[in-house]
Amino acid sequence: MTSKRIVLGITGGIAAYKSADLVRRLRERGAEVQVVMTAGAREFITPTTLQAVSHRPVRDSLWDAAAEAAMGHIELARWADLVLVAPATANFMAKLAHGAADDLLTTLCLATKAPVVLAPAMNWAMWEHPATQANKDLLEERGVRLLGPGEGALAESESGVGRMLEPIEIAEAVMSPRIDPALRGVEVVVTAGPTREPIDPVRFISNRSSGKMGYAVARALAEQGAKVTLISGPVALAPPAGVKVQYVESAADMYDAVIHRLEQMDMFVGTAAVADYSPASPAVTKIKKEKGSMELSLARTRDILATVASSGRPIFTVGFAAETNDLETHARNKLRSKKLDMVAANWVGEGRGFDADSNALQVFWPGGSTEIPQDDKLVVARRLVSLIAAHYRRRQEG
Ligand code: PMT
């Protein structure tokens, strides 16, 4: 976590006076902090103070030619490992929810591929307003993480929910690995890797899945306190820490292992590349070569994901979709036809998806979608898991 590069956005609320302390807390924990202020924020705290504590010139305009020449706003968006906006006003949340890019900070938030975290701060009535609540839900659905607001004394001698969390709480939350309470103790079954469909005792049909994506998802879920059982096809990977692994060979074995756990399952994540077809009658002894060609009769395997999703047992079912063309159409079809809560789609082929160390996902759910950009599979898995957690939490809340 040392030398994490944070763009700290400060918007125009009274809690902006705490931002200097927040910069200090982040730097104490090893972060490099680049402050970006909105025009409103300047009414509450001066750039001079923030420059002094951050040891970097403060950025506050899209039209500052000298600053842009040193590091353009798109470069700055790419520089960030994290964009943290604290305080985030109701107006800023509304702009972000609706994709506005009318100043440096909103533009950065749209241009960055880094995680975006908001620490909202506003009057309690503004926080409770249905428009703000709808914007909050929309932002969370897209993977934006909200810290707070807390409850307590507000400006205008009122109290209620709307207080920005204390700088130390925000710094701790963004600089230390986080456990999402939504997933603590949740029983999750994850499938990973390829399956092997026997032709005879020595030959099989399989695919290029290495299991890396599924193992990363299992690890990321376990990091968040979920009780994870990984049903793994044959792979050459070490079991992820804190995860129970059951190894299987064929699609039929994987089906049996998953269905056996159906009753205990709160969530199912199908990352395995399960064979859709299997030799109809595998030979008992090794098939001898003969002159001419041979034909192999294949039978459809049972669809594990569709069976689980239609069983009504897990509260949440996530499928993957590996596509070489028309990714969105195929992914949306799988979401609908298999009655899933979420589908994570990836391009495969030519070094993409299968067996690579990195991946990118387009994630779809009924009524929404988001992108997780190309990164190491563990980083991508962690982002997918925080999205799953936000949707799972909402499902639990009814
Ligand atoms: O293992 P890696 O090398 O890291 O590669 C990762 C990956 C590309 C395999 C992974 O990210 C991925 O896309 N997994 C799903 C692969 C796949 O089989 O996709 P599909 O579109 O054919 O299947 C759709 C969904 O149905 C998947 O969740 C699959 O697990 C599930 N399925 C399919 C057939 C079947 N009989 N039972 C199933 O459960």
**Tens digits of residue pLDDT in 106-116:** 999 999 988 89
Measuring from atom 5 of ligand 1, which residue has the nearest CA? Answer: 354
Cα 346 to ligand 1 centre (Å): 10
Q: Which atom, in ligand 1's list, is nearest to the CA of 305?
A: 39
Measuring from atom 18 of ligand 1, which residue has the nearest CA? Answer: 273
61-75, 185-199, 378-392, range with the lowest pLDDT: 61-75
Number of CB atoms found within 10 A of residue 145's CB: 20
User: How does pLDDT run across 289-342, given as a tens digit for each residue?
Assistant: 999 999 999 999 999 999 999 999 888 999 999 999 999 999 999 999 999 999
Mean pLDDT (whole number) for 3-20: 95
Cα 139 to ligand 1 centre (Å): 28
Query: Residue 1: what pLDDT?
Result: 38
- Contact 271 CB / ligand 1 (< 6 Å): yes
For the chain, the three-class secondary structure string (H helix, E strand, C coil) is CCCCEEEEEECCCHHHHHHHHHHHHHHHCCCEEEEEECCCHHHCCCHHHHHHHHCCCCECCCCCHHHHHHCCHHHHHHHCCEEEEEEECHHHHHHHHCCCCCCHHHHHHHHCCCCEEEEECCCHHHHHCHHHHHHHHHHHHCCCEECCCEEEECCCCCEEEEECCCHHHHHHHHHCCCCCHHHCCCEEEEEECECCEEEECCEEECCCCCCHHHHHHHHHHHHCCCEEEEEECCCCCCCCCCCEEEECCCHHHHHHHHHHCHHHCCEEEECCECCCEEECCCCCCCCCCCCCCCCCCEEECCCHHHHHHHHCCCCEEEEEEEECCCHHHHHHHHHHHCCCCEEEEEECECCECCCCCEEEEEEEECCEEEEEEEEEHHHHHHHHHHHHHHHHHHHHHC
- 6: its two tokens: 């944070």
- Contact 211 CB / ligand 1 (< 6 Å): yes
Q: What is the mean pLDDT of the chain?
A: 94
Cα 354 to ligand 1 centre (Å): 10
Query: Residue 94: what pLDDT?
Result: 98
What CA–CA distance (Å, rounded) separates 394 from 398?
6
Domain boundaries, the chain: 5-174, 187-282+296-397
CATH of domain 5-174: 3.40.50.1950
pLDDT band with cut points at 50, 70 and 90 for residue 156: confident
- Contact 343 CB / ligand 1 (< 6 Å): no
Measuring from atom 20 of ligand 1, which residue has the nearest CA? Answer: 321
Query: Which of 196, 248, 271, 327 should be mutated for ligand 1, with most atoms under 8 A from CB?
Result: 271
Measuring from atom 31 of ligand 1, which residue has the nearest CA? Answer: 305
Residue tagged active-site, from 91, 123, 135, 207 = 207
Is-catalytic flag, 135? no
User: How does pLDDT run across 194-245, given as a tens digit for each residue?
Assistant: 999 999 999 999 999 999 999 999 999 998 989 999 999 999 998 988 899 9
Query: Residue 376: what pLDDT?
Result: 87
Query: Which of 190, 269, 274 should be mutated for ligand 1, with most atoms under 8 A from CB?
Result: 274
Measuring from atom 21 of ligand 1, which residue has the nearest CA? Answer: 321
* CATH T-level topology, domain 187-282+296-397: Rossmann fold (3.40.50)
Domains 5-174 and 187-282+296-397 share a fold: yes
- Contact 372 CB / ligand 1 (< 6 Å): no
Number of CB atoms found within 10 A of residue 263's CB: 9
pTM: 0.71
Q: Is the pLDDT of residue 146 over 50?
A: yes
Cα 381 to ligand 1 centre (Å): 15
Query: Which of 305, 346, 380 should be mutated for ligand 1, with most atoms under 8 A from CB?
Result: 305
pLDDT over 70 percentage in the chain: 99
Mean pLDDT (whole number) for 19-34: 96
Cα 210 to ligand 1 centre (Å): 11
Query: Residue 177: what pLDDT?
Result: 67
Q: Is the pLDDT of residue 142 over 90?
A: no
Measuring from atom 35 of ligand 1, which residue has the nearest CA? Answer: 303
Mean pLDDT (whole number) for 71-98: 95
Mean pLDDT (whole number) for 29-47: 96
Mean pLDDT (whole number) for 100-129: 95
Cα 321 to ligand 1 centre (Å): 6
